């Protein structure tokens, strides 16, 4: 029996578990299983490996996308640039890190935008934003990072800056939410974007997929924006992971 799984904490309702269990059933794959490995500390990661010698691949989620890197033998070149891992291939006891968030997001966004390359505001600077930023660079999309706290780095602004200079929103027509704000059960939360400055020229890509339409998506769609959730990205990254593992 080949084993695959997900490490993170807490795991709760896992997209990966549902996705791969359903995939195995639909495609008649009966020699594989997908398990959840909820570990409160990354130091428990080696125990997962030693206790499960049948493991062929792992997905990695919050809060271990960066913390897992020291435990790996090799890193895919794209991973080195991104600085985060969400997929581990296990071959002959050697661990190689990949970032399929990058693959999933880039392919999904490229399809959605077509030939357009609007300037982008990336909401949030956590682990999920790293893959998004690399994809934007590779698609030649200019972007600004938006966070709650000020930064000395160029290309970073705060939500307060957006409030004080609302005209910025007329220059940046792609808004990408990489924060967990609005995720079930806290469905009435959203990043501090004023819908009054949103128009039909805007596109909003929210990495959250549960609920299907977040408060951010609903609020900005009401002003004419086109909106998209993160489900397609997740499906594409899961398929990319499956190819890497096999």
Q: Residue 73 has which token pair?
A: 């033998």
Is residue 49 over pLDDT 90?
yes
| Contact present, 184 and 162 (Cβ < 8 Å) | no
Q: What is the pLDDT of residue 179?
A: 95
| Contact present, 229 and 214 (Cβ < 8 Å) | yes
Is residue 54 over pLDDT 90?
yes
Predicted TM-score (pTM) of this structure: 0.91
**CATH architecture, range 2-98:** 3-Layer(aba) Sandwich (3.40)
Task: Give the pLDDT band (50/70/90) at residue 28.
Answer: very high
Query: What confidence tens digit (pLDDT) does each residue in 115-165 have?
Result: 999 999 999 998 789 999 999 999 999 999 999 998 888 999 999 999 999
Is residue 13 over pLDDT 80?
no
Cis status, amide bond into 185, omega within 30 of 0: yes
DSSP per residue, 72-135: -SEE-HHHHHHT---EEEEETTEEEEE-HHHHHHHHHHHHHHTT----EEEE--SHHHHHHHHH
Q: What is the pLDDT of residue 12?
A: 77
Tell me what the mean pLDDT of segment 160-182 comes to.
95
Catalytic residues: 65
Tell me what the mean pLDDT of segment 74-89 comes to.
93
Q: What is the pLDDT of residue 161?
A: 95
Classify burial at 66, counting beta carbons within 10 Å of its beta carbon; exposed 0-12, middle 13-18, buried 19 or more: middle
Four-CA torsion 154, 155, 160, 162, nearest 10 degrees: 140
Q: What is the pLDDT of residue 124?
A: 96
DSSP per residue, 87-102: EEEEETTEEEEE-HHH
Query: What are the extents of the domains in the chain?
Result: 2-98, 102-233
Say yes or no: domain 102-233 is CATH 3.40.50.300: no
Domain 2-98 and domain 102-233 have a common topology: yes
Tell me what the mean pLDDT of segment 6-23 comes to.
91
Q: Residue 110 has which token pair?
A: 């490229």
């Amino acid at each position: 029996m080949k084993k695959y799984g997900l490490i993170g904490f807490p795991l709760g309702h896992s997209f990966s578990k549902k996705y791969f269990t359903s995939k195995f059933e639909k495609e008649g794959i009966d020699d594989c299983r997908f398990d959840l490995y909820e570990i409160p500390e990354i130091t428990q990661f080696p125990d997962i490996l030693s206790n499960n010698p049948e493991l062929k691949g792992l997905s990695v989620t919050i809060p271990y996308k960066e913390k897992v890197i020291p435990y790996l033998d090799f890193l895919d070149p794209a991973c080195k640039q991104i600085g985060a891992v969400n997929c581990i291939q296990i071959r002959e006891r050697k661990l190689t890190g990949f970032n399929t968030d990058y693959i999933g997001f880039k392919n999904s966004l490229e399809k959605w935008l077509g030939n357009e390359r609007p300037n982008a505001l990336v909401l949030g600077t956590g682990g999920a934003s790293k893959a998004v930023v690399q994809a934007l660079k590779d698609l030649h999309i200019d972007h600004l990072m938006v966070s709650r706290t000020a930064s000395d780095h160029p290309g970073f602004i705060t939500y307060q800056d957006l409030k004080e200079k609302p005209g910025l929103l007329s220059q940046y027509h792609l808004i990408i939410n990489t924060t967990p704000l609005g995720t079930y059960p806290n469905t009435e939360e959203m990043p501090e974007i004023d819908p009054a400055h949103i128009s039909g020229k805007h596109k909003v890509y929210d990495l959250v997929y549960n609920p299907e339409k977040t408060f951010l998506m609903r609020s900005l769609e009401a002003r004419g924006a086109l909106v998209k959730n993160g489900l397609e990205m997740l499906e594409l990254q899961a398929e990319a992971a499956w190819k890497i593992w096999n």
